[in-house]
């Protein structure tokens, strides 16, 4: 059965273009050895061969998707603007959550007028939990509220308790583990 399949055509062409970019630009410019090299009078496989083979596979797949779309075969692609919008919003939520995770601890230490820096306090109570709990709360609370489309006590409780339980599971039994983002600070 033939049908309009513009999305698949765009997809096939996009992967074809990406493969050509990898094969003709990225691999030659960002690899120091060729496909095969002569090292100490012996031929060896260079670093460029394996990624080139990968690019050929992508090109082959992209070409087949394109041919199918041109012939009106295959299945309509379900990816649409709503998926891109969801990805953008999810990225924004994760960005805010990790921003809080990264800065709430140091900010609280500064506001509390502690003599020590956050780095020195990052494995002590209550400082070590502040970033993780606040970032985790935002991530979970906003996700649940977005699905339920209303503020609920249940969403609040899950968003408070789940990060706390995760923090305790990792932190209480293991002395050498640091919760995010304390290992980087």
Helix, strand, or coil (residue 37): strand
| Least distance from other proteins to the Cβ atom of residue 127, Å | 17
DSSP, res 184:
G
Beta strands 36-39 and 42-45, pairing class: antiparallel
Establish if 103 lies at the interface with other proteins (CB under 8 A).
Answer: no
**CB of 67 vs other proteins, minimal distance in Å:** 8
Which of 83, 110 has the CB closer to other proteins? 83
Does position 17 interact with other proteins (CB under 8 A)? The reply is no
Decide: is 113 part of the binding site for other proteins (CB under 8 A).
no
CA dihedral angle for residue 142, residue 147, residue 151, residue 155, rounded to 10 degrees: -70
Contact 19, 55 (CB under 8 A): yes
Pick between residue 91 and residue 120 the one whose CB is nearest to other proteins: 91
15: left (phi over 0), alpha (psi -120 to 50) or beta: alpha
Query: Between residues 94 and 112, which has the closer beta carbon with respect to other proteins?
Result: 94
Q: Six-digit token pair at 70?
A: 């041109």
154 binds other proteins (CB under 8 A): yes
DSSP state of 32: S
| Binding residue (CB under 8 A) for other proteins from 60, 70, 99, 151 | 60
Q: Is 82 in the site for other proteins (CB under 8 A)?
A: yes
Which is nearer to other proteins, 17 or 112 (by Cβ)?
Answer: 17
């Amino acid at each position: 059965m033939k049908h309009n399949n513009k999305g698949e055509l765009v997809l096939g062409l996009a992967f074809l273009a990406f493969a050509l970019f990898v094969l003709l630009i990225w691999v030659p410019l960002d690899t120091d050895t060729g496909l095969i090299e002569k090292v100490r009078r012996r031929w060896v496989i260079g670093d460029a061969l394996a990624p080139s083979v990968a690019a050929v596979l992508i090109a082959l797949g992209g070409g087949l998707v394109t041919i199918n779309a041109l012939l009106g075969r295959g299945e309509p692609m379900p990816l649409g603007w709503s998926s891109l919008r969801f990805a953008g919003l999810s990225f924004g939520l994760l960005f805010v959550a990790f921003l809080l995770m990264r800065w709430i601890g140091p900010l609280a230490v500064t506001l509390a007028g502690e003599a020590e820096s956050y780095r020195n306090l990052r494995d002590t109570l209550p400082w070590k939990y502040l970033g993780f709990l606040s970032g985790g709360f935002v991530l979970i609370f906003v996700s649940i509220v977005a699905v339920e489309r209303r503020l609920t006590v249940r969403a609040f409780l899950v968003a408070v308790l789940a990060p706390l339980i995760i923090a305790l599971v990792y932190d209480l039994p293991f002395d050498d583990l640091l919760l995010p983002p304390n290992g980087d600070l």
